[in-house]
Amino acid sequence: MEIKNKLTTPPSAIHDIMYFYNIVEGINRKGGRVQIDEKIFNYLAQMINNYNESKATKYGFSFRPRGVNTETVKKAVSELVDLELIRRESGYLTLTNLGNEIAALIKSKESEQLKIIFARLMLDKYDIFEYLLKRIHEISHGQEFPIPFITAPVFERFAANSEEIVEKYFEAIRKSYPSFPGNLPALLESVREAKIELLEKKTEKTNKLQALVERFVVSAAFGPNIESRRAFDFIRSRTTFLEFTNYAIISLDGLPVDITYLTSDFEATFKQSVKKVDYSRGTLYVNHPAFEEVGEQFRELLTKFYISKKDEFGYVRIAEARDVICRQLRVSDVLFDTYLRSLYKKEPHLLSFTYLGAGEKITEKSLPLVMKEPMREFFTLLKINVKA
């Protein structure tokens, strides 16, 4: 694949595109034009912090979100200027025509249309996103990109032998992904030079080996355009929000691996409905089948997962089912939740839901299922009421 020497990248490393929504909405609330001063940046930071707090409360996060400061807001504003949603002129920030259009869509809660607009903007303005998608397709033959996820149990399994851990990971990964990039001897040499065994705490050893391996893997796959896990994560966060990619932790030969897979394609390869994103260099097709198209398959996959994973009380974790089934269908987490609600509406006696309680760890990637009818509730466990 032909790539440019230097790809355009967003000026801010903000993961959550909703931050941009909040800034546009905040300026719109002030009449679409605000004076540039610390007062407005504090106001916009508070809007983002309120959004984070509201989201944490809505889903019952196991952690409190970190507060956003005005420096983050300023970086986000710079990107919105770059995207031509805001103009900076004569000491003021003013919404452009497109900025006003987005503000109206936010007000009317047109989430799908907003995603398409931001998808087009990201692909048009920053070719790092197109590069990530095409590179994953290229090195995985349209499958997925794995990064070793080294945990304390993995360290214990191999008696803290860093070189053996790396060798076992590469053996397991290359068995499933023959085109996986990276020079294993060079990585092993880096591990030896790091002298991880001299660190006192097991956590320090695990974290250092993980950081070394993931930096090596990301650089081998995407360098020189993406050379750190931090850069990879922020780009992936945006493509996942826009439903271009998805990701999950899976097991390869008993070793946990963080895989990123494509839920979109630059060719019309998907058999069901798609969302088309037309941009200046082409068209991206986002896999977006309706429940009517995949409902039976979804039901079968859910039942199969349930039978294999149900606990002694007959329940499975919704987040685990979501990870497995989204990967099989190559769809977003949002679509999984839509399908599950649709299945429940179609066959209300088939499914039962409950919430594990305070002991449940809820993160951005393990959100509970939110039901709005007959009353607002959220659930982390489900049961299928059929004899297996």
CA 145 to CA 84: how far, in whole Å? 33
**Predicted pLDDT at 142:** 67
Report the relative pairing of strands 92-95 and 144-148 from DSSP bridges: unpaired
**Predicted pLDDT at 373:** 76
Asked if 92 and 34 count as a contact pair (C-beta separation under 8 A), the reply is: yes
CA 318 to CA 311: how far, in whole Å? 13
**Predicted pLDDT at 5:** 56
Structure tokens at 152: 């304390």
Domain count, the chain: 3
**Cα dihedral across residues 80, 84, 90, 94: positive or negative:** negative
Residues 85 and 139 grouped into a single domain: no
9 within a domain of the structure (yes/no): no
11 within a domain of the structure (yes/no): no
374 within a domain of the structure (yes/no): yes
Which of these, 274, 300, 297, lies nearest to 287 by C-alpha position? 274
Residues 91 and 142 grouped into a single domain: no
Residues 157 and 227 grouped into a single domain: yes
Place of tokens 């059929």: 386
CA 356 to CA 378: how far, in whole Å? 10
How many residues in total does the chain contain? 388
Q: Which helix (H) or strand (E) holds 275?
A: strand 274-279
Low pLDDT (below 70) residues in the chain? 1-5, 62, 142, 357-359, 375, 387-388
Residues 379 and 306 grouped into a single domain: yes
DSSP 173-221: HHHH-TT----HHHHHHHHHHHTGGG-SSHHHHHHHHHHHHHHHHHHHH
In single-letter form, the type of residue at position 242 comes to: L
Residues 135 and 185 grouped into a single domain: yes
**Predicted pLDDT at 181:** 86
**Predicted pLDDT at 358:** 60
Q: Which range marks the domain in which residue 314 is found?
A: 291-384
Please identify, among 74, 109, 144, the residue that sits at the C-terminal boundary of a domain: 109
pTM listed for this prediction: 0.92
Residues 311 and 358 grouped into a single domain: yes
Structure tokens at 28: 């719109």
Distances (CA, A) of 125 to 70, 106, 129, 279: 24, 22, 9, 10
264 within a domain of the structure (yes/no): no
3 within a domain of the structure (yes/no): no
CA 33 to CA 86: how far, in whole Å? 9
Residues 91 and 147 grouped into a single domain: no
Whether the ω angle into residue 148 lies within 30 degrees of 0, i.e. cis, is: no
Sheet holding 33-35, edge to edge: 33-35, 92-95, 86-89
**Predicted pLDDT at 3:** 47
Which of these, 54, 53, 85, 55, lies nearest to 67 by C-alpha position? 53
CATH of the domain at 46: 1.10.10.10
Residues 72 and 140 grouped into a single domain: no
In single-letter form, the type of residue at position 362 comes to: I
**Cα dihedral across residues 175, 331, 346, 320: positive or negative:** positive
Please identify, among 79, 109, 139, the residue that sits at the C-terminal boundary of a domain: 109
CA 245 to CA 232: how far, in whole Å? 12
Residue 280's contacts (CB-CB under 8 Å, 6 or more residues apart) are 123, 124
Residues 185 and 99 grouped into a single domain: no
**Predicted pLDDT at 8:** 92
